[in-house]
Amino acid sequence: MLFQNTVLGLELGSTRIKAVLIDENHRPIASGSHAWENRLVNGVWTYTMADIHSGVQACYADLKRDVKEKYGHTLTQVGAIGISGMMHGYLPFDQDGTLLAEFRTWRNTMTGEAAQKLTALFDFTIPQRWSIAHLYQAMLNGEDHLPRLSHLTTVAGYIHEKLTGKKLLGIGEASGMFPIDSETLNYHAGMMAKFDALIAEKGFTWRLADVLPAVLPAGQPAGVLTDAGAAFLDPAGDLRPGIPFAPPEGDAGTGMAATNSVAPRTGNVSAGTSDFAMIVVEKIPPTHREINVLATPAGKPVAMVHGSNCTSDINAWVELLGEFAGAIGARIDKNALYTLLFSKALEGDRDCGGLLSYNYLSGEGITGLDAGRPVFARTPDAKLTLANFMRTHLLSALATLKIGLDILIREEKIPIDKIYAHGGYFKTPGVGQRMLSAAVGAPVSVMETAGEGGPYGMALLAAYMLRKKDGQRLEDYLANEVFANARSFTLTADAADIEGFEAFLAQYKKSLPIERAAVETM
């Protein structure tokens, strides 16, 4: 094994940091991971800098152990590296690199006023989780760190800078900080000018272009591993500096790469802690609060529907049911329990038999809620069975996503030739896939590599940077070099599944006042 021909992708996800090492044939050959959780501190969803540093190092150390165990080799060199992470949020630094405020992740819903005003100013939807919304909200709040602001970035951009010294982002990641112009492959100049004019009276010495990271499309070199970066990533001292880096990307862009969904009329759905659909469009749709416009790692426009809540409430119920099983002496492996309960949902009534749930641990922009409370409800004559209970939570996890997708598919007539699915929601074969197909009313495919997810997609982007031919587009590289012979499983929901989801969603939308009342009273 020539490890100088391998490529490493490392992604900081919401609940896990994971690294995937691929060979010259784009096959995963080793992996590492580190579990972590966000913290709710003084009303802010965050991770500490110590969490970030130790988590990245633990993940890389786990990868090293895997390589050593499988190949008897101490990892000292790879061909290229790419860093990705959960998108958006707020990481502001001064000129000395000191963090000026707590890391405010994508999960926070504290920027409603800013998001609304910027959406009106730009005539372009700015969601609450975007970095520019966090920055402007800090201004509206009069936060005293702003005069010292020197640089704003994301968690992927931060780690990339720690490893290479370069302040930059891939264009897909950058599109979650500030709107992108897909013609110039840079931040939208007209909107930047509007923002600078909006804040001119505040008297800051910086302009927006001064504090945002530089933008690079996929395929461009983005620096090399420095001595300090090598010592940070591998404190044991085995990793050698000089390794080239791809532009750091967001988890939306790596999901597109991992599912070969970067060409127009393709799409993918990622479903885990949050869920989001990314549809590569031929023209940007009109402004809708429920629809965001981002960019592929190559800079093509993408219509995105983002739900802040997906599997966390399911996980909580599975933990409870597992605790009950243990209490009666029926101990069961957690993976087997998930498979059992997900499969049980297929036996439920298609409309869930009068059961209803809202999986909102945090706020949900699509339904206009700034905070969340998980709620389970039922009518007196509902069919309270385990199958209906599980199906209810599986449909609830996709409900807000479906609301947004219905706008794209039914109102705006956005054409979609194929949808790929990936993420923890789809681990039990055929179950989540069938629910998603019922939501979109179209076939859904899962690739054999879908379980590798974002870090695999980041590794592919790094491989593209390292090996692309002159003029070779990202979509052609993925289609011809990576996925030409890839195996996938396609499933289409039947008419009863589709009609059942429609009936469930109608009740879900009608009963949203239940969730709003829970937020107000609990």
pLDDT in tens, 455-509: 999 999 999 999 999 999 999 999 999 998 888 889 999 999 999 999 999 999 9
% pLDDT > 90, the chain? 80
Q: In the prediction, which pLDDT does 88 show?
A: 93
Q: In the prediction, which pLDDT does 8 show?
A: 98
Q: How confident is the model at residue 151 (pLDDT cuts 50, 70, 90)?
A: very high
* Residue pLDDT, tens place only, 18-64: 999 999 999 999 999 999 999 999 999 999 999 999 999 999 999 99
- Beta pairing, strands 80-85 & 7-12: parallel
- CATH 3.30.420.40 is right for the domain spanning 3-250: yes
Q: Output the CA torsion sign for 210, 215, 220, 223.
A: positive
**pLDDT for residue 377 is more than 80:** yes
* Residue pLDDT, tens place only, 386-414: 999 999 999 999 999 999 999 988 888 88
**pLDDT for residue 276 is more than 90:** no
Q: In the prediction, which pLDDT does 1 show?
A: 61
C-alpha distances (whole Å) from 13 to each of 94, 293, 447 are 25, 21, 20
Q: Output the CA torsion sign for 461, 467, 471, 476.
A: negative
Q: In the prediction, which pLDDT does 36 show?
A: 94
Q: In the prediction, which pLDDT does 466 show?
A: 95
Q: In the prediction, which pLDDT does 451 show?
A: 59
The whole model's pTM is what? Answer: 0.84
CB 401 within 8 A of CB 269: yes
Highest mean pLDDT among 179-188, 268-277, 404-413: 179-188
CA dihedral defined by 68, 72, 76, 79, rounded to 10 degrees?
-90
The pLDDT mean for the chain works out to: 94
273 vs 393: CA distance, rounded Å:
14
Look at 60-69, 349-358, 371-380, 445-454 and tell me which has the smallest mean pLDDT.
445-454
Looking at residue 97, its amino acid is G
Q: In the prediction, which pLDDT does 468 show?
A: 94
- Which residues on neighbouring strands pair with residue 7, listed in sequence order? 22, 80
Q: How confident is the model at residue 107 (pLDDT cuts 50, 70, 90)?
A: confident
Q: In the prediction, which pLDDT does 449 show?
A: 65
What is the arithmetic mean of pLDDT over 81-97?
Answer: 96
Q: In the prediction, which pLDDT does 81 show?
A: 98
Looking at residue 267, its amino acid is G
CB 385 within 8 A of CB 348: yes
* Residue pLDDT, tens place only, 314-332: 999 999 999 999 999 998 9
CB 318 within 8 A of CB 471: no
**pLDDT for residue 450 is more than 70:** no
* Residue pLDDT, tens place only, 184-199: 999 999 999 999 999 9
Q: How confident is the model at residue 339 (pLDDT cuts 50, 70, 90)?
A: very high
**pLDDT for residue 453 is more than 80:** no
CB 245 within 8 A of CB 266: no
C-alpha distances (whole Å) from 51 to each of 18, 76, 97 are 14, 25, 17
Q: In the prediction, which pLDDT does 452 show?
A: 64
What is the arithmetic mean of pLDDT over 350-360?
Answer: 97
Q: In the prediction, which pLDDT does 495 show?
A: 96
Token look-up 């975007």 returns 130
